[in-house]
C-alpha cells in the first residue's frame, strides 16, 4: 500500500505508475481515493471543530461556576451535553469513509522502482545473466517423474488415491535427496549470517492481506473452514508477520532471517505436458530468506539475496539465469523483482526455481512495521527471496546430474547429508 500523501500531492505520478503496469482499468481508483479522502478530511475537521468548541464551552462553564453564576452556566451545560452525540455521529461517517479509502488504497499498486523494465507480461521479462554452462547431453534425459519412479523414489498413483492431483509420495534415496537439498539450504543461509526460524504454517486473514494483494490471496491461499486461518503459500507470509505492529530500533537492523516451511498453494489453471509430475503441485517445501532493513539499505540487500540463490544452485551443479521481471509481471506490492531459473536439459529451456523481491515499504505500511529513527518513526523496507523450493529444485538436480545409465550423480555438497552416498542407482 502506498502513502496516501502521494495521491494527495502527486496523483499523476500514481496514475503514471498504473499505466506502466498496463493496468489502466485501475486509473479511476486514484480519483475515487481523492474524492473520498477529501470528504473524510472534511468530516474530521467537523469533529476537531466540535471538540475545540466543547473545550471552549467547558472553560466558560468553569469560570461561571467559580464566580457563582450557576444560572448563567445552565445554557452552556446543555450545549456541552449535546456535542458528544454530534461527534459520535460524524465519527461514524468519517470511519466509514476511512474504511472505503483503505479498501481502495489496497488495490492501488506499489510504485515500481525506476530500474524496472517496461513490459506487459512475463514474456517481456529481461535476462540479466547466465551462470554456468547450460548443456544438453548426447544421451536421453528422462522425464523427472518417470526417472524417479524407475529409481523407486516417486509414487504418484498412491497420492492420487489419498489426496488427488498435485500431490506425491517421495521414497527412499529420492526422498533423502529432496531432504538433503533443503537441509543444505538451511546451513547455506546460516553461514551467510542469517538466523534460522521455523514459523507458523497457518496465518490469520489480517496477516494475509498485510503481506499480499487480494488477487494473489484468492489465487493461492487455502482457507481453513470455520476458522480465521489460512495455510501459508510461502513462509515469507508468517515471517514478515513476526514484526507486525512493531517499532524496531535502528541498532536492531537489519533483521536477516531464514525459514523452513511446507507451503500450500491452489496452483489454479491448466499446465503443459512437461509439467507432469512435480512441476506444479499443491504442497512443497521451501527455505526462504527475508530481510527487514533501513530504506536506504534495501537495494544492497536485494542484490546480495539474488546472488546467493544463484550461488546456491551452482553448488548443486545446476546452471541458472537471472531474469528481471518487467512492470506488467509485478504483483501489486512489489517494487522490483527477479526470478532465478534453472536449466532443464530435457526441455532445453530454463524454468523458475526462485524469486527475489524488494517490497520497499508496501508490506511494512500494511503491517505497521516501523523504525524508531530518533527524530521520529518511519516504515521499514522488507525483502524476501527463495533460497530453494523443492520438488522444483529436486527436478533441477536430477536433470542436470543424470548420467547415461539413468543414475543420478549426487552433488558433492549434498553427499554428507546422504551418509556419503555419491550416486542414486536403479534398484535391482
- pLDDT, one tens digit per residue, over 206-248 is 999 888 876 777 778 899 999 999 999 999 999 999 999 999 9
The residue to which cell 509414487 is assigned: 155
Q: Which of 346, 322, 340 is nearest to 401 (CA)?
A: 346
Give the burial string for 146-180 (b: 16+ CB within 10 Å, else e): ebbbebebbebeebeeeeeebebebbebbebbbbb
Beta-carbon neighbour count of residue 423 at 10 Å?
13
Whole-angstrom distance, CA of residue 63 vs CA of residue 76: 12
Tell me the per-residue pLDDT of 379-393, one tens digit each, with 9 for 90 and over: 999 999 999 999 999
Phi/psi of residue 345, nearest 5 degrees = -65, -25
Terminal-residue alpha carbon distance, the chain: 58
In this structure, how many other beta carbons lie within 10 angstroms of the beta carbon of residue 357?
25
Q: Bigger pLDDT: 268 or 121?
A: 121
Q: What share of the chain is helix, strand, coil (3-state, %, to 5)?
A: 50, 20, 30
pLDDT mean over 188-194? 98
Domains of the chain, first to last: 4-105 (1.10.287.40), 122-424 (3.30.930.10)
Q: What is the DSSP letter of 424?
A: E
Q: Over the Cα atoms of the chain, what is R_g?
A: 28
CB 221 within 8 A of CB 266: yes
pLDDT in tens, 131-146: 999 999 999 999 999 9
Q: What is the distance between the alpha carbons of residues 408 and 424, in angstroms, rounded to a whole number?
A: 5
Nine-digit cell at 163? 489426496
What is the C-alpha to C-alpha distance for residues 262 and 355, in angstroms, rounded to an integer? Answer: 17
CA distances from 333 to 112, 263, 328, 362 (A): 9, 20, 12, 6
pLDDT tens readout for residues 84-111: 999 999 999 999 999 999 999 999 999 9
Which cell numbers in the block locate residue 209? 492481506
**pTM of the full structure:** 0.89
DSSP string, 118-167: P-SSGGG-EEEEEES-----SSPPPPHHHHHHHTT-EEHHHHHHHT-TT-
Q: Which distant-in-sequence residues (6+ apart) come within 8 Å of 40 by Cβ?
A: 94, 97, 98, 101
22-41 confidence digits (pLDDT tens) = 999 999 999 999 999 999 99
Q: How far apart are CA 143 and CA 288, in angstroms?
A: 27
Amino acid at each position: 500500500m502506498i502513502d496516501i500523501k502521494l495521491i494527495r500531492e502527486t496523483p499523476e505520478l500514481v496514475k503514471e505508475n498504473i499505466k506502466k503496469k498496463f493496468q489502466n482499468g485501475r486509473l479511476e481508483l486514484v480519483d475515487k481515493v481523492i474524492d473520498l479522502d477529501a470528504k473524510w478530511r472534511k468530516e474530521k475537521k467537523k469533529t476537531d471543530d466540535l471538540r475545540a468548541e466543547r473545550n471552549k464551552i467547558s472553560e466558560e462553564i468553569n469560570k461561571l461556576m467559580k464566580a457563582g453564576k450557576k444560572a448563567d452556566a445552565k445554557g452552556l451545560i446543555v450545549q456541552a451535553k449535546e456535542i458528544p452525540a454530534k461527534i459520535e455521529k460524524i465519527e461514524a461517517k468519517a470511519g466509514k469513509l476511512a474504511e472505503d479509502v483503505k479498501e481502495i488504497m489496497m488495490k492501488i499498486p506499489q510504485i515500481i522502482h525506476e530500474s524496472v523494465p517496461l513490459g506487459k507480461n512475463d514474456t517481456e521479462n529481461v535476462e540479466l545473466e547466465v551462470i554456468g554452462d547450460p548443456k544438453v547431453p548426447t544421451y536421453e534425459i528422462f522425464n523427472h517423474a518417470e526417472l524417479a519412479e524407475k529409481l523407486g523414489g516417486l509414487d504418484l498413483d498412491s497420492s492420487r488415491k489419498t489426496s488427488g492431483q498435485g500431490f506425491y509420495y517421495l521414497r527412499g534415496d529420492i526422498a533423502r535427496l529432496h531432504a538433503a537439498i533443503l537441509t543444505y539450504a538451511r546451513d547455506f543461509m546460516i553461514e551467510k549470517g542469517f538466523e534460522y526460524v521455523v514459523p507458523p504454517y497457518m496465518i490469520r486473514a489480517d496477516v494475509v492481506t498485510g503481506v499480499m494483494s487480494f488477487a494473489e490471496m484468492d489465487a493461492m491461499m487455502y482457507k481453513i473452514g470455520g476458522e480465521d486461518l489460512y495455510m501459508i503459500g510461502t513462509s515469507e507470509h508468517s515471517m514478515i508477520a513476526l514484526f507486525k505492529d512493531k517499532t524496531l530500533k535502528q541498532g536492531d537492523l537489519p533483521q536477516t532471517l531464514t525459514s523452513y516451511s511446507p507451503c500450500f498453494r491452489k496452483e489454479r489453471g491448466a499446465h503443459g505436458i512437461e509439467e507432469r509430475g512435480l512441476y506444479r503441485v499443491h504442497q512443497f517445501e521451501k527455505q526462504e530468506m527475508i530481510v527487514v532493513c533501513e530504506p536506504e539499505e534495501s537495494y544492497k540487500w536485494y542484490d546480495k539475496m539474488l546472488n546467493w540463490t544463484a550461488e546456491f544452485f551452482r553448488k548443486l551443479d545446476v546452471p541458472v539465469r537471472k531474469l528481471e521481471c518487467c512492470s506488467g509481471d509485478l504483483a501489486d506490492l512489489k517494487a522490483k523483482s527477479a526470478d532465478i531459473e534453472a536449466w532443464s536439459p530435457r526441455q532445453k529451456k530454463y524454468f523458475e526455481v526462485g524469486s527475489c523481491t524488494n517490497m520497499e515499504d508496501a508490506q511494512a505500511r500494511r503491517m505497521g512495521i516501523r523504525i524508531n529513527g530518533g527524530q521520529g518513526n518511519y516504515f521499514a523496507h522488507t525483502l524476501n527471496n527463495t533460497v530453494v523450493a523443492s520438488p522444483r529444485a529436486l527436478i533441477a538436480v536430477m536433470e542436470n546430474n543424470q548420467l547415461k545409465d539413468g543414475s543420478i550423480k549426487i552433488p558433492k555438497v549434498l553427499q554428507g547429508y546422504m551418509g556419503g552416498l555419491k550416486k542414486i542407482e536403479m534398484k535391482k
